[in-house]
Structure 1
Amino acid sequence: MDVKAMTRAGWRWLAPPELWTRRRTALEAVVAVVMGLLAAGIEELLGSGDWYPAVVGVAAAALSLLRRRLPVAVLAVTGALTPVVGGFLLLLILVGWSAGRLIAGPGRTLVAFTVSYALFVGASLLDGMARQAPMTMVLLTTLYYLATTVMPGLASRYWIQRRTLLHALQDRNAQLLRERAMVEGQARLRERQRIAQDMHDSLGHQLALISVHTGALEVDRALTDRQREAVGVLREASVNAMRELREVVGILRDGIEAPAAPDDGSGQARRGTAGIDALVDAARAAGNDVELERSGEPRPLAPAADHAAYRIVQEALTNAYKHAPGAAIAVELRYEPDSLVVEVVNAAGGAAPEDVVSGGQGLTGLHERARLVGGMVHAGPVDGAGFRVAAVLPYGVPGAVAPPLVDAVDDFGQQARALRAAEGAGSAAPAGAPGSVPGGVPQGGVPGGAFPGAYQGGYPGPYPGSWPDVAPPVRGTSGVAVGCGIAAAVGLVLLVVAGFGMFFLVGAMSEGMITRTQYEKIKIGADEQEVRDRLPKGETIATFGLDGLGPEEPAGADCLVLLSTAESEDFDSEPVFRFCFKDGKLIEKKAYEVKR
């Protein structure tokens, strides 16, 4: 195997492609370089040799790259080397953070950090045994290790566990939503199938009877031409109602809308502005006086808006000859620069039959249909007498779709109402329609106040009531913030411990130090007990390791070494005072400096 292949294999082991993206690889490379430079810089500040900082920097960069692949080993090595290699101080923080989140299992994590802590304390004791008391070294190194390694590890581990829990909750929430949507879909499908079966069995039978009887009446020789024409309208309305019923039943069963057939001359109007002429012709054939007027340059509309225009005219016509029989009706389509204005106005007519069928949802449905395509509808009485339905529909709203089931139900409802109105049509035609209908919308735009309320936007989805496919993200306090909060709490505890430690050290230092004036007041030949009563005991961590570092002691003498409160001009030296006793007397006192 050549060197290039070995290098590639080693890199794939260190950074598996399925785990390390290009972004992570670049980030890890930057972190390794920064750790290497910081380690080398710290060693340079500590006064190491020319080659030593470079070696420490390379080692820090290598450990930074290996910390993800071998978190336990890198944590142990870094903990053992940091007391000896000062450049690893910052690297230990990074390694502790990574080990806290990468080591699997709390037991294994505890063992790894315990081993690293033991190595850290052991190396610290070996490196500073001659300069500090063992218990003092253990206390200081423990506080340092807790602050630089354990705290980042705990914060990192909590953060990764919280993020994993949030992701699991999101997945669970999404699964519950999907299951709920499936259950609702199944229940909705069963109910729709039941409704479809009822409609087919009841309405289908009645419409078939109407079609058969009207067909027989249409060829009856005893009828006049006018009566035969009215019967033909009834038969055609029943046939169209049967067609729409089949559409509704199909949608209820399958949830899929069949494509609308073009106008084939059978009387079935196309669903759009092109089918409005057929609606007007059908209304005229039923004995209503209807006028259709178009103005402006025709422009194509979005499919949903085109369909809405057809439905608005259809519903307005049905309401007109249902609630005002015999009234003149004017239909106007005006193509404005930015929208299509549809207006249907009927004059005052005769009294509506007492048993007129009305569901009370027609105009409400028109408002909803116009809103879904970005338009609006106004319906109300006109000045004097009559009723007006006016709508403004934009030419194009991308993505606007009409609910197929609502369309199909509207189709069947319109056919049923037309059939009901045709049954009540008389043989005499209404009087001539007036040339103009009062209360129309003026040319050039919609009058002020004609359409109260502005359009505020439609449903967020294609149809109200639909469930989302995925769960919304779980929002809350950031995991990093919570982890940092825990780290801050641990840091506060460590700060309190450090405060007690500093209080202990200050007390210990005061028990092992005297001033130059106190030293001068002690005279050689003084009684030993008297001198010891005037001086501190000297048995503190401040004086630990000072014995034997100064001039040779007198033979057979018992010496007391104390630190001086004065500072030395040399950073590495400390001024001390030594008092030697023999046979109950002070036989020597010396002031000198020692190197720690």
Structure 2
Amino acid sequence: MEAATEFRGAAVAAWRWLAGPERWTRRRTAGEAVLALLMAVLAAGTEEIIGGDGWRPAAVAASAMVLSLLRRRFPATVLVVTGALAPVLPGYVVLLMLVGWSAGRHISDAGRALAALAGAYVLYMATTLLDAWDWQGALRLAFVSTIYFLATTVVPGLARRYWAQRRTLLHALQDRNRRLLRERSMVALQARLRERQRIAQDMHDSLGHQLALISVHTGALEVDPELTDRQREVVGVLRNASVTAMHELREVVGILRDGTEAPVDAGTGGAGAPDESRRGTAGIEALVEAGRAAGNTVALKRTGDGPPLMAAAGHAAYRIVQEALTNAYKHAPGAAIEVELRYEPDAFVVEVVNAAPARPAGEVISGGQGLTGLHERARLVGGMVHAGPVDGGGFRVAGVLPYGGGGESLPQAAPLVDAADDFRQQSTTLPRSHSEPVMDWRSDPWADLSRTERELTMALRENRTRSRGSGVALGCGIAAAAVVLLVLAVGFGAFFLVRAVGNSMIDPAEYDAISVGASEQEVRDRLPSGDSVAMSGLRGKGPKEPEGSRCLVLMSSDVPEDITVETEPVFRFCFKDGKLIEKKAYDVRR
């Protein structure tokens, strides 16, 4: 068991070492294994088709698999080794393309990449010329080999290098844009904080002073012996209202200054002040009691039972009731008011309905922003508010708010408001890398972008999409150019090979028609020159040439019926002193 565990650990360590600095996922690991196996199969199959026998196909397959796995860890070394062995091992044809493509990505330094390509080319040419050396055909062979190496190794490597550098540049630009947007959000946040602190200081200095005076004077008036019990009760309500207003002012000032609510001191203010300052569903009953104490007819009705509201949603419910009651007091004095809290299966509903006013309202001072603020507050928590007249001359304000788990963060459920109707409050995700979490206004305060910043972000998204499309088009253009170059190289090589083969083949009848003793010039005029790459591997083989003679070796134009035959029929003509002194027909092993 311990041995198996150690072996597994060693295998994992070896595989991570092969991956290098990159961490391979399971998909990448499986892909690399399948690709290495494919290279081995192609190498063995190519060697088998060309005529390799014995252990050679298996050895070439194993070496191709190893080189395929090492190409990421040692890209330059694998490129040089593959380039040196490709001319003598035909099974490395596909592997050479793969290694060139991979080297363009994994050799980071441009000078090192150029040196690796140059070294691979030099070794490739040296091995090619040494394997099929012929002084007369060396230039043609070098030219064809150069075209082949450029098409199969250099072009894929350059294309992959351009693609990798472009992706790196795009990622760098995206990171820079993300940092600029974040820095801009930080600057805007600092400006907002400074402005909020200024507003908080003004509110504290002005409203705080006035509320303190109201509280002091109502407290002194409450103990005046000349007041009746009813007047003393009304003055007590005014004093409690001023104390509550001071508590709420302190909370608002705290939120404006540092974004947190000020703690409520249980012993501060008059009776009931701490409960009334709790801005949640628990404080709605205190609002109703305060309205009743002021002489208004206010009824409270609770229906159903459900999970607790989030702190923000409870705060919104409290503000909806508070604003609706305030509007009813101002616009419908003396009218009966009904407050209903309903716990529906999917949402919490708060509804405030007042009847038609019993007497006309006097001059009312109104800022006109109360209901608008309720709409915005409900939207921020994923709810909605409806306000409008009802049959009989009354008015109705209703809010629908989502439930929550009781935490301070908003739920991840879909909001009750359609996204198309709440564009300004929707979160905007900044461009990010695949490893960063999604940022929105619920989890990242810097993602609370203004309209201008949202438009900028959307423009960056469109620009990134366009650049991605243009990058794909440019990459496709480079790939198409590489394919065209490869096709041209293959076409040129095929044409050159056909022409070279035509210059090195004769019909057997032509061989029989030539007699020994004929003039060398006459014989050479009847025969092709034999100066081609196709003959480079046939010279120097067969019977010993006559002493002091010059021989011309040509192939037979007859195609054998059995293509598996490993021998090639050739004809040899040897000349000396201007005459044909010998002609021989024999078979040469390929």
What TM-score results when the alignment is normalised by the length of structure 1?
0.75
Partner SS state of residue 353, structure 2: strand
Number of the residue aligned with 2:118: 114
Structure 2: distance between partners of 1:557 and 1:44? 38
Taking structure 1 as reference, are residues 23 and 394 closer, same or farther at Cα in structure 2, changes over 3 Å only?
A: closer
Taking structure 1 as reference, are residues 377 and 14 closer, same or farther at Cα in structure 2, changes over 3 Å only?
A: closer
Number of the residue aligned with 1:322: 330
Number of the residue aligned with 1:425: none
* Equivalent position amino acid for 1:175 in 2: R
Retained in 2: the 8 A contact 1:96–1:150?
yes
User: Structure 2 unaligned runs (5+)?
Assistant: 1-5, 428-439, 450-456
Choose the corresponding residue for 1:99, options 100, 103, 106.
103
Number of the residue aligned with 2:417: 455
Residues 432-443 of structure 1 mapped to structure 2, 5 A cutoff: none
Post-superposition Cα deviations, 1:358-393, rounded to whole Å, max 9, x if no partner, equal: 222222232333344444332111123121122334
- The answer on 1:467 being equivalent to 2:446 is yes
Structure 1: distance between partners of 2:341 and 2:12? 76
Partner SS state of residue 216, structure 2: helix
Number of the residue aligned with 1:246: 250
- 1:283 Cα offset (Å): 1.1
Number of the residue aligned with 1:418: none
Structure 1: distance between partners of 2:134 and 2:529? 21
Structure 1: distance between partners of 2:189 and 2:549? 100
Residues 469-508 of structure 1 mapped to structure 2, 5 A cutoff: 476=468, 486-508=478-500
Structure 2: distance between partners of 1:29 and 1:581? 58
Q: Which has the higher contact order (CA 8 A, sep 6+)?
A: 1
- The answer on 1:309 being equivalent to 2:317 is yes
Number of the residue aligned with 2:161: 157
- The answer on 1:351 being equivalent to 2:355 is no
- 1:223 Cα offset (Å): 3.6
Retained in 1: the 8 A contact 2:86–2:92?
yes
Of residues 68-77 and 583-592 in structure 1, the stretch that sits farther from structure 2 once superposed is 583-592
Partner SS state of residue 210, structure 2: helix
Retained in 2: the 8 A contact 1:131–1:544?
no
Number of the residue aligned with 2:176: 172
Number of the residue aligned with 1:72: 76
* Equivalent position amino acid for 1:274 in 2: A
Retained in 2: the 8 A contact 1:163–1:479?
no
Number of the residue aligned with 1:206: 210
Structure 1: distance between partners of 2:539 and 2:64? 38
Retained in 2: the 8 A contact 1:250–1:257?
yes
Structure 2: distance between partners of 1:347 and 1:14? 77
Partner SS state of residue 161, structure 1: helix
Taking structure 1 as reference, are residues 219 and 290 closer, same or farther at Cα in structure 2, changes over 3 Å only?
A: same
Taking structure 1 as reference, are residues 548 and 56 closer, same or farther at Cα in structure 2, changes over 3 Å only?
A: closer
Post-superposition Cα deviations, 1:90-116, rounded to whole Å, max 9, x if no partner, equal: 333333233222223212211111111
Structure 1: distance between partners of 2:250 and 2:505? 107
- 1:166 Cα offset (Å): 2.9
Post-superposition Cα deviations, 1:233-262, rounded to whole Å, max 9, x if no partner, equal: 222222222221121112211111134567
Number of the residue aligned with 1:288: 296
Choose the corresponding residue for 2:272, options 266, 279, 282.
266
Residues 412-431 of structure 1 mapped to structure 2, 5 A cutoff: none
* Equivalent position amino acid for 1:229 in 2: E
* Equivalent position amino acid for 1:257 in 2: E
Retained in 2: the 8 A contact 1:401–1:462?
no
Post-superposition Cα deviations, 1:416-455, rounded to whole Å, max 9, x if no partner, equal: xxxxxxxxxxxxxxxxxxxxxxxxxxxxxxxxxxxxxx73
Of residues 125-134 and 105-114 in structure 1, the stretch that sits farther from structure 2 once superposed is 125-134
Of residues 262-271 and 167-176 in structure 1, the stretch that sits farther from structure 2 once superposed is 262-271
Taking structure 1 as reference, are residues 346 and 67 closer, same or farther at Cα in structure 2, changes over 3 Å only?
A: closer
* Equivalent position amino acid for 2:418 in 1: Q
Retained in 2: the 8 A contact 1:260–1:271?
no
Of residues 519-528 and 302-311 in structure 1, the stretch that sits farther from structure 2 once superposed is 519-528
* RMSD, aligned α-carbons: 4.6
Taking structure 1 as reference, are residues 278 and 559 closer, same or farther at Cα in structure 2, changes over 3 Å only?
A: closer
Retained in 1: the 8 A contact 2:296–2:334?
yes
Partner SS state of residue 384, structure 1: coil
Structure 1: distance between partners of 2:343 and 2:360? 34
Taking structure 1 as reference, are residues 97 and 281 closer, same or farther at Cα in structure 2, changes over 3 Å only?
A: same
Which structure has more helix as a fraction of its residues? 2
Taking structure 1 as reference, are residues 543 and 20 closer, same or farther at Cα in structure 2, changes over 3 Å only?
A: closer
Taking structure 1 as reference, are residues 278 and 159 closer, same or farther at Cα in structure 2, changes over 3 Å only?
A: same
* Equivalent position amino acid for 1:15 in 2: W
- 1:189 Cα offset (Å): 1.2
- 1:520 Cα offset (Å): 7.9
- 1:587 Cα offset (Å): 9.5
Number of the residue aligned with 1:15: 17
Decide which structure has the larger Cα Rg and report it: 1
Retained in 2: the 8 A contact 1:526–1:585?
yes
Taking structure 1 as reference, are residues 202 and 130 closer, same or farther at Cα in structure 2, changes over 3 Å only?
A: same
Number of the residue aligned with 1:137: 141
* Equivalent position amino acid for 1:161 in 2: Q
* Equivalent position amino acid for 2:17 in 1: A
Structure 1: distance between partners of 2:406 and 2:159? 49
Number of the residue aligned with 1:184: 188
Retained in 2: the 8 A contact 1:151–1:487?
no
- 1:519 Cα offset (Å): 7.0
Retained in 2: the 8 A contact 1:374–1:393?
yes
Partner SS state of residue 15, structure 1: helix
Taking structure 1 as reference, are residues 478 and 49 closer, same or farther at Cα in structure 2, changes over 3 Å only?
A: farther
Structure 2: distance between partners of 1:265 and 1:10? 71
Aligned length: 541
Retained in 2: the 8 A contact 1:189–1:253?
yes
Structure 2: distance between partners of 1:585 and 1:12? 69
- 1:195 Cα offset (Å): 0.8
What TM-score results when the alignment is normalised by the length of structure 2?
0.75
Post-superposition Cα deviations, 1:14-65, rounded to whole Å, max 9, x if no partner, equal: 9289836474895556655654565455445544453444444444444344
Taking structure 1 as reference, are residues 505 and 281 closer, same or farther at Cα in structure 2, changes over 3 Å only?
A: same
